[in-house]
Amino acid sequence: MKKIEQIDISGDVGLRIWGKSIEELFKNAATGMFNLVTDTNKIKETEQKEVSLEADNHENLLVQWLNELVFLYDTYGFIGKVFRISIQGNMLKATISGGIFDPGTNESRLLIKAATYHGLSLKKVALHWEATVIFDI
């Protein structure tokens, strides 16, 4: 199954994301987003971050999750590579392993301002999950 696909939007960029479980979808969304920022293959795993979130519903949880990651890289330069995620109800707990972006050696792609609610969707289709998120860049 395809994990992510980039969506073409005038001025901005979006992702269509798939996952066999909601946790896998959140993981694929995170990997997809970090790859919009830089080539994550070139990032060494040197740090761990813990994230804990609660939202009103799964869609909002996805936006909050991605915005938490935007915060981590925009503040600390942190790029996540390995995600251990558990979602219970509308609560998410994650442990992320990753490293710090180095403007000197790592490739600069897009600077994401935020994950938005614009055109946001997240649903279970047959046996898998599917979502669309658009980023403001």
Q: Candidates 101, 122, 129, 131: give the one binding other proteins (CB under 8 A).
A: 101
Q: Residue 12, interface with other proteins (CB under 8 A)? A: yes
Q: Candidates 35, 109, 128, 130: give the one binding other proteins (CB under 8 A).
A: 109
Q: Candidates 71, 82, 121, 124: give the one binding other proteins (CB under 8 A).
A: 71
How far apart are alpha carbons 53 and 6 in whole angstroms?
A: 26
Q: Residue 95, interface with other proteins (CB under 8 A)? A: no
Q: Residue 74, interface with other proteins (CB under 8 A)? A: yes
Which residues are at the interface with other proteins (CB under 8 A)?
A: 6, 8-13, 37-38, 56, 60, 64, 67, 70-71, 73-75, 77, 101-103, 106-111, 113-114, 116-118, 120, 134, 136-137
